[in-house]
Amino acid sequence: MTSTNVERTVFIVSDGTGITAETFSHSVLSQFEEAQFRSTRLPFIDSREKVEEAVAKINRCAQDTGKPPLVFSTLVNPDMAALLKDANGIFLDLFGTFVKPLEEALGMKSSHSIGRSHGSGTSQKYRNRIEAINFSLSHDDGQYVHGLDKADVILVGVSRCGKTPTSLYLAMQYAIKVANFPLIPEDFERGTLPATLAPFRKKLFGLSILPERLSEVRNERRPNSKYSTLEQCRYEVAEAERLMRIESIPFVSTTTRSIEEISTKVLQEVGLEAHIY
């Protein structure tokens, strides 16, 4: 355990954006709780010259810090990957490691073409993402009720329970059109769903939250307001959950979940498991 509390440099080297590799490296490295990491992403490394520059950076870092940095690579081109491997670093080949067994399993060669992962900015799949983002933005917080029939999902819940980030994430990541609609004290007094939503019952999905957490979140926005009191939050959450139960709207708690976790729960529950191929 000699390396404890020593910062280790991490390079993410990619011929594309490197974002997936960065997120992946973050996930793997979070397993080493005692270590500290400083991560640098080197994107668009798509020529021999750029690989050589990356190698020089890695070597300089190894010299400056006295330790070979960790190098997560998603270089698709085997020659460029081989160049990078010669740098003074711990080479972790995210791409090459899996391409060979996949070639064997599929009985075909990979194309070794660069930067195909997010699709080009003009593909139909890409246009669908942009359209979903625009839809989710314009149907945020019940601000626009036309076109709700085109929504894939309509999230409902009390103000500040996490509807907006979840809607935008689902649109951005999965091209799913997600509207969201607040449940407010008037709805609880009336004891029914907003009339606007009645025709779309099957698309509704609820988010809930612990009142204590909701009160914290609201207090950050509007300190010392009635809206942010624990009492008001308890009332709204209890009434919203009661209404969702009466109306048979499934719901999940957002309290300790990240946007990714909430979004995954929503997809699971509404059976909209996305097939991204």
The three-state secondary structure class of 7 is strand
C-beta atoms surrounding 178 within 10 Å: 29
How far separated are the first and last CA of the chain, in Å rounded?
Answer: 43
Q: Which of 49, 120, 224, 226 binds its own copies (CB under 8 A)?
A: 120
38 binds its own copies (CB under 8 A): yes
Q: Considering only 46-54, 57-65, 115-123, 239-247, which stretch makes contact with its own copies by CB under 8 A?
A: 115-123
If the CB atoms of residues 82 and 259 are measured against its own copies, the closer one turns out to be 259
Site for its own copies in 185-214 (CB under 8 A): 213
Ligand-binding annotation for 147, yes or no, is: no
Q: Which of 13, 18, 61, 182 binds its own copies (CB under 8 A)?
A: 18
5 binds its own copies (CB under 8 A): no
Ligand-binding annotation for 157, yes or no, is: yes
Smallest separation (angstroms) from its own copies to the CB of 252: 12
Smallest separation (angstroms) from its own copies to the CB of 256: 5
Q: Which of 62, 82, 83, 137 binds its own copies (CB under 8 A)?
A: 137
216 residue type, one letter: E
- Give the count of residues interacting with its own copies (CB under 8 A): 92
The three-state secondary structure class of 252 is strand
Give one DSSP letter per residue of 93-107, joined into a string.
ETTHHHHHHHHHHHT
Beta-strand pair 70-73/7-13: parallel
* CA gap 229, 233 in Å, rounded: 6
Q: Element (H or E) spanning 13, and its range?
A: strand 7-13
Smallest separation (angstroms) from its own copies to the CB of 157: 14
83 binds its own copies (CB under 8 A): no
Q: Element (H or E) spanning 116, and its range?
A: none
